Protein backbone atom coordinates (compact mmCIF):
# COMPACT_ATOMS: atom_id res chain seq x y z
CA UNK A 1 0.00 0.00 0.00
CA UNK A 2 1.32 3.44 -0.96
CA UNK A 3 0.28 7.00 -0.29
CA UNK A 4 0.53 8.87 -3.60
CA UNK A 5 1.52 12.24 -2.17
CA UNK A 6 4.30 10.57 -0.14
CA UNK A 7 5.85 8.54 -2.96
CA UNK A 8 8.41 11.24 -3.82
CA UNK A 9 7.94 14.22 -1.46
CA UNK A 10 11.56 15.47 -1.70
CA UNK A 11 11.63 16.74 1.88
CA UNK A 12 15.02 18.12 2.94
CA UNK A 13 15.28 16.16 6.19
CA UNK A 14 19.06 16.41 6.41
CA UNK A 15 18.99 20.17 5.97
CA UNK A 16 16.98 20.38 9.21
CA UNK A 17 19.10 17.99 11.25
CA UNK A 18 20.78 20.75 13.28
CA UNK A 19 17.38 21.88 14.56
CA UNK A 20 16.54 18.27 15.34
CA UNK A 21 19.79 17.89 17.29
CA UNK A 22 18.89 20.88 19.46
CA UNK A 23 15.33 19.65 20.07
CA UNK A 24 16.58 16.16 20.94
CA UNK A 25 19.27 17.53 23.27
CA UNK A 26 16.71 19.57 25.22
CA UNK A 27 14.26 16.65 25.46
CA UNK A 28 16.98 14.18 26.53
CA UNK A 29 18.25 16.56 29.23
CA UNK A 30 14.71 17.08 30.55
CA UNK A 31 14.11 13.31 30.47
CA UNK A 32 17.35 12.51 32.29
CA UNK A 33 16.71 15.12 35.00
CA UNK A 34 13.18 13.83 35.47
CA UNK A 35 14.35 10.22 35.77
CA UNK A 36 17.12 11.12 38.20
CA UNK A 37 14.74 13.07 40.43
CA UNK A 38 11.79 10.68 40.22
CA UNK A 39 13.53 7.32 40.26
CA UNK A 40 16.56 7.89 42.52
CA UNK A 41 17.01 9.07 46.12
CA UNK A 42 18.30 12.36 44.66
CA UNK A 43 14.71 13.58 44.34
CA UNK A 44 14.12 13.21 48.07
CA UNK A 45 16.60 16.01 48.75
CA UNK A 46 14.43 18.48 46.83
CA UNK A 47 11.11 17.10 48.04
CA UNK A 48 10.09 15.25 44.86
CA UNK A 49 8.14 12.01 45.30
CA UNK A 50 9.66 8.88 43.81
CA UNK A 51 7.48 7.16 41.22
CA UNK A 52 8.50 3.50 41.52
CA UNK A 53 5.45 1.30 42.07
CA UNK A 54 5.23 -1.31 44.83
CA UNK A 55 6.60 -3.84 42.33
CA UNK A 56 9.97 -2.18 42.97
CA UNK A 57 9.66 -0.45 46.35
CA UNK A 58 7.63 -2.96 48.35
CA UNK A 59 4.06 -2.89 49.59
CA UNK A 60 0.99 -5.09 49.89
CA UNK A 61 -0.85 -7.18 47.34
CA UNK A 62 -4.41 -8.20 48.20
CA UNK A 63 -6.86 -10.24 46.12
CA UNK A 64 -10.53 -9.86 47.00
CA UNK A 65 -13.87 -11.05 45.70
CA UNK A 66 -16.72 -8.52 45.81
CA UNK A 67 -19.84 -7.92 43.72
CA UNK A 68 -18.85 -4.42 42.55
CA UNK A 69 -17.29 -2.59 39.63
CA UNK A 70 -13.62 -1.64 39.52
CA UNK A 71 -14.61 2.03 39.81
CA UNK A 72 -16.54 1.28 43.02
CA UNK A 73 -13.54 -0.55 44.48
CA UNK A 74 -11.18 2.26 43.48
CA UNK A 75 -13.50 4.90 44.97
CA UNK A 76 -13.75 2.89 48.20
CA UNK A 77 -9.97 2.61 48.60
CA UNK A 78 -9.54 6.34 47.98
CA UNK A 79 -12.10 7.13 50.69
CA UNK A 80 -9.98 5.00 53.03
CA UNK A 81 -6.93 7.11 52.17
CA UNK A 82 -5.31 4.35 50.11
CA UNK A 83 -3.89 5.18 46.70
CA UNK A 84 -4.05 1.70 45.22
CA UNK A 85 -3.35 0.09 41.88
CA UNK A 86 -6.41 -2.07 41.12
CA UNK A 87 -6.81 -4.76 38.48
CA UNK A 88 -9.82 -6.85 37.54
CA UNK A 89 -8.55 -10.43 37.21
CA UNK A 90 -10.21 -13.69 36.26
CA UNK A 91 -13.92 -13.48 37.08
CA UNK A 92 -15.73 -10.16 37.03
CA UNK A 93 -15.83 -10.02 40.84
CA UNK A 94 -12.11 -10.73 41.41
CA UNK A 95 -9.84 -7.74 42.08
CA UNK A 96 -6.11 -7.44 42.71
CA UNK A 97 -5.28 -4.45 44.91
CA UNK A 98 -1.68 -3.17 45.28
CA UNK A 99 -0.87 -0.41 47.74
CA UNK A 100 2.01 1.03 49.80
CA UNK A 101 0.08 2.27 52.84
CA UNK A 102 0.48 0.44 56.16
CA UNK A 103 -3.03 -1.03 56.16
CA UNK A 104 -3.54 -4.65 57.10
CA UNK A 105 -5.53 -6.80 54.60
CA UNK A 106 -8.26 -7.47 57.17
CA UNK A 107 -8.66 -3.75 57.77
CA UNK A 108 -8.85 -3.17 54.04
CA UNK A 109 -11.59 -5.78 53.66
CA UNK A 110 -13.64 -4.26 56.49
CA UNK A 111 -13.22 -0.81 55.00
CA UNK A 112 -14.38 -2.02 51.59
CA UNK A 113 -17.43 -3.71 53.10
CA UNK A 114 -18.38 -0.56 55.00
CA UNK A 115 -17.93 1.69 51.97
CA UNK A 116 -19.38 -0.52 49.23
CA UNK A 117 -22.06 -2.05 51.44
CA UNK A 118 -21.50 -5.59 50.17
CA UNK A 119 -19.64 -8.62 51.57
CA UNK A 120 -15.97 -8.86 50.58
CA UNK A 121 -14.02 -12.14 50.56
CA UNK A 122 -10.27 -12.06 51.09
CA UNK A 123 -8.69 -14.64 48.74
CA UNK A 124 -4.99 -13.73 48.95
CA UNK A 125 -2.71 -11.38 50.82
CA UNK A 126 1.02 -10.90 50.19
CA UNK A 127 3.65 -8.49 51.35
CA UNK A 128 6.37 -7.40 48.90
CA UNK A 129 9.44 -6.43 50.90
CA UNK A 130 11.62 -3.47 49.89
CA UNK A 131 14.60 -5.79 49.34
CA UNK A 132 12.73 -7.83 46.72
CA UNK A 133 11.46 -4.62 45.15
CA UNK A 134 14.99 -3.22 44.93
CA UNK A 135 16.20 -6.42 43.27
CA UNK A 136 13.40 -6.23 40.72
CA UNK A 137 14.25 -2.60 40.01
CA UNK A 138 17.91 -3.43 39.48
CA UNK A 139 17.11 -6.37 37.21
CA UNK A 140 14.65 -4.29 35.17
CA UNK A 141 17.29 -1.63 34.50
CA UNK A 142 19.93 -4.25 33.66
CA UNK A 143 17.49 -6.02 31.32
CA UNK A 144 16.80 -2.79 29.43
CA UNK A 145 20.50 -1.92 29.06
CA UNK A 146 21.46 -5.47 28.01
CA UNK A 147 18.71 -5.42 25.40
CA UNK A 148 20.13 -2.23 23.93
CA UNK A 149 23.66 -3.65 23.83
CA UNK A 150 22.53 -6.89 22.15
CA UNK A 151 20.77 -4.83 19.49
CA UNK A 152 23.99 -2.84 18.96
CA UNK A 153 25.87 -6.11 18.36
CA UNK A 154 23.22 -7.38 15.92
CA UNK A 155 23.22 -4.20 13.81
CA UNK A 156 27.02 -4.16 13.84
CA UNK A 157 26.96 -7.61 12.21
CA UNK A 158 24.02 -6.79 9.92
CA UNK A 159 25.29 -3.41 8.69
CA UNK A 160 28.43 -1.91 10.21
CA UNK A 161 29.52 -0.45 13.54
CA UNK A 162 28.59 3.10 12.48
CA UNK A 163 24.97 2.23 11.77
CA UNK A 164 24.91 0.04 14.88
CA UNK A 165 26.13 2.85 17.12
CA UNK A 166 23.70 5.32 15.53
CA UNK A 167 20.73 2.95 15.97
CA UNK A 168 21.66 2.22 19.58
CA UNK A 169 22.07 5.93 20.26
CA UNK A 170 18.57 6.43 18.85
CA UNK A 171 17.20 3.71 21.16
CA UNK A 172 18.70 5.35 24.25
CA UNK A 173 17.29 8.65 22.93
CA UNK A 174 13.79 7.12 22.58
CA UNK A 175 13.81 5.41 25.98
CA UNK A 176 15.10 8.46 27.87
CA UNK A 177 12.63 10.89 26.28
CA UNK A 178 9.60 8.58 26.56
CA UNK A 179 10.31 7.31 30.06
CA UNK A 180 11.38 10.80 31.13
CA UNK A 181 8.06 12.32 30.01
CA UNK A 182 6.17 9.54 31.79
CA UNK A 183 8.15 10.26 34.96
CA UNK A 184 7.87 14.05 34.55
CA UNK A 185 4.08 13.77 34.63
CA UNK A 186 4.31 11.91 37.94
CA UNK A 187 3.11 8.52 36.70
CA UNK A 188 4.39 5.45 38.55
CA UNK A 189 6.90 3.10 36.98
CA UNK A 190 5.72 -0.48 37.33
CA UNK A 191 6.39 -3.74 35.50
CA UNK A 192 4.05 -2.74 32.65
CA UNK A 193 6.25 0.30 32.01
CA UNK A 194 9.34 -1.91 31.68
CA UNK A 195 7.41 -4.21 29.33
CA UNK A 196 6.31 -1.20 27.27
CA UNK A 197 9.88 0.16 27.08
CA UNK A 198 11.15 -3.21 25.81
CA UNK A 199 8.31 -3.24 23.25
CA UNK A 200 9.26 0.29 22.23
CA UNK A 201 12.88 -0.78 21.73
CA UNK A 202 11.72 -3.50 19.34
CA UNK A 203 9.45 -1.13 17.43
CA UNK A 204 12.03 1.63 17.20
CA UNK A 205 14.86 -0.62 16.03
CA UNK A 206 12.63 -2.00 13.28
CA UNK A 207 12.04 1.51 11.93
CA UNK A 208 15.73 2.37 12.23
CA UNK A 209 16.76 -0.76 10.32
CA UNK A 210 14.39 0.06 7.44
CA UNK A 211 15.89 3.55 7.10
CA UNK A 212 19.47 2.27 7.55
CA UNK A 213 18.97 -0.44 4.93
CA UNK A 214 17.65 2.04 2.38
CA UNK A 215 20.48 4.49 3.07
CA UNK A 216 23.04 1.70 2.61
CA UNK A 217 21.33 0.66 -0.63
CA UNK A 218 21.49 4.19 -2.02
CA UNK A 219 25.09 4.67 -0.91
CA UNK A 220 26.01 1.41 -2.65
CA UNK A 221 24.98 2.88 -6.00
CA UNK A 222 27.66 5.55 -5.64
CA UNK A 223 30.36 3.59 -3.82
CA UNK A 224 32.85 4.02 -6.67
CA UNK A 225 32.21 7.76 -7.01
CA UNK A 226 33.56 10.56 -4.87
CA UNK A 227 30.48 12.41 -3.66
CA UNK A 228 30.55 16.04 -2.60
CA UNK A 229 28.91 16.97 0.74
CA UNK A 230 25.86 18.30 -1.15
CA UNK A 231 25.55 15.11 -3.19
CA UNK A 232 25.93 12.98 -0.05
CA UNK A 233 23.12 14.92 1.65
CA UNK A 234 20.93 14.38 -1.42
CA UNK A 235 21.59 10.64 -1.32
CA UNK A 236 20.51 10.48 2.33
CA UNK A 237 17.43 12.62 1.66
CA UNK A 238 16.42 10.46 -1.31
CA UNK A 239 16.82 7.29 0.75
CA UNK A 240 14.67 8.63 3.61
CA UNK A 241 12.02 10.03 1.28
CA UNK A 242 11.75 6.68 -0.47
CA UNK A 243 10.77 5.02 2.84
CA UNK A 244 8.47 7.83 3.98
CA UNK A 245 5.25 6.26 2.69
CA UNK A 246 5.99 3.00 4.52
CA UNK A 247 7.01 4.86 7.68
CA UNK A 248 3.86 6.99 7.79
CA UNK A 249 1.52 4.03 7.18
CA UNK A 250 3.22 1.84 9.81
CA UNK A 251 3.47 4.59 12.41
CA UNK A 252 -0.10 5.83 11.85
CA UNK A 253 -1.72 2.40 12.13
CA UNK A 254 0.32 1.60 15.26
CA UNK A 255 -0.49 5.01 16.71
CA UNK A 256 -4.24 4.49 16.23
CA UNK A 257 -4.07 1.19 18.14
CA UNK A 258 -2.06 2.49 21.09
CA UNK A 259 -4.15 5.68 21.38
CA UNK A 260 -7.25 3.48 21.50
CA UNK A 261 -5.66 1.55 24.37
CA UNK A 262 -4.75 4.82 26.07
CA UNK A 263 -8.29 6.21 25.83
CA UNK A 264 -10.34 3.07 26.42
CA UNK A 265 -8.00 0.54 28.08
CA UNK A 266 -8.58 1.86 31.58
CA UNK A 267 -6.08 2.38 34.43
CA UNK A 268 -4.59 -1.12 34.14
CA UNK A 269 -3.30 -0.50 30.60
CA UNK A 270 -2.66 3.24 30.96
CA UNK A 271 1.09 3.10 31.65
CA UNK A 272 1.70 0.58 28.87
CA UNK A 273 -0.37 2.55 26.35
CA UNK A 274 1.14 5.91 27.34
CA UNK A 275 4.72 4.69 26.83
CA UNK A 276 3.89 3.24 23.41
CA UNK A 277 1.87 6.27 22.29
CA UNK A 278 4.74 8.65 23.00
CA UNK A 279 7.31 6.07 21.89
CA UNK A 280 5.80 5.59 18.42
CA UNK A 281 6.13 9.33 17.73
CA UNK A 282 9.63 9.62 19.19
CA UNK A 283 10.82 6.40 17.53
CA UNK A 284 9.65 7.50 14.08
CA UNK A 285 11.36 10.85 14.54
CA UNK A 286 14.63 9.35 15.78
CA UNK A 287 14.99 6.88 12.90
CA UNK A 288 15.32 9.87 10.57
CA UNK A 289 16.89 12.61 12.64
CA UNK A 290 19.17 10.52 14.84
CA UNK A 291 20.22 7.43 12.86
CA UNK A 292 20.49 8.93 9.39
CA UNK A 293 21.74 12.32 10.60
CA UNK A 294 24.48 10.80 12.77
CA UNK A 295 25.77 8.59 9.94
CA UNK A 296 25.66 11.52 7.50
CA UNK A 297 27.61 13.84 9.80
CA UNK A 298 30.19 11.14 10.47
CA UNK A 299 30.69 10.57 6.74
CA UNK A 300 30.90 14.33 6.10
CA UNK A 301 33.50 14.57 8.82
CA UNK A 302 35.47 11.72 7.26
CA UNK A 303 35.33 13.30 3.79
CA UNK A 304 36.66 16.60 5.19
CA UNK A 305 39.59 14.82 6.83
CA UNK A 306 40.34 12.95 3.60
CA UNK A 307 40.41 16.18 1.61
Domain 59-128 has CATH 2.40.40.20: no
pLDDT at 23 over 90: yes
User: Which residues partner with 98 through β-bridges?
Assistant: 61, 85
Residue 31: pLDDT over 90:
yes
Whether 127 has a pLDDT exceeding 60, the answer reads yes
CA angle at 296 for the pair 293 and 300, rounded to the nearest 5°: 135
pLDDT (tens digit, 9 = 90+) per residue, 49-107?
Answer: 777 777 777 788 888 999 898 889 999 999 998 888 888 776 678 888 888 888 888 98
Q: What is the pTM of this model?
A: 0.79
- Predicted local confidence at residue 131, as pLDDT: 61
- Proportion of the chain above pLDDT 70, given as a percent: 89
Q: Which CA distances in Å does 12 have to 33, 221, 241, 288?
A: 32, 20, 9, 11
pLDDT category, 168, cuts 50, 70, 90?
Answer: confident
- Determine the CATH number of domain 4-42+132-306: 1.20.1640.10
**Ranges of each domain in the chain:** 4-42+132-306, 59-128
Cα-Cα-Cα-Cα dihedral sign, residues 154, 158, 203, 301 = positive
CA dihedral angle for residue 166, residue 168, residue 172, residue 173, rounded to 10 degrees = 30
For residues 177, 181, 186, 187, the Cα torsion angle rounded to the nearest 10 degrees is -80
Q: What band does 178 get if pLDDT is binned at 50, 70 and 90? A: very high
Q: Quick one: pLDDT at residue 4? A: 56
Reply yes or no on whether the pLDDT at 302 is more than 70. Answer: no
Q: How far apart are CA 161 and CA 297, in angstroms?
A: 15
DSSP 92: T
Residue 182 confidence (pLDDT):
93
Confidence of residue 26 (pLDDT cuts 50, 70, 90): very high
Amino acid sequence: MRIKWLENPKVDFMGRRRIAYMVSSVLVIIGLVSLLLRLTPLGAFVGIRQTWSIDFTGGRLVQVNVDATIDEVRSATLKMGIKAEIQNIGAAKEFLIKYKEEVEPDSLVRGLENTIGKPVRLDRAEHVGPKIGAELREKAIILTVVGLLVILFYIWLRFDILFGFAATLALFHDVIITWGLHSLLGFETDMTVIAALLTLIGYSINDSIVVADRVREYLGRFRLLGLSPEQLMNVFNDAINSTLSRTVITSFTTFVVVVSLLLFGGPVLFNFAFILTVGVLVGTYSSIFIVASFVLDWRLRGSKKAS
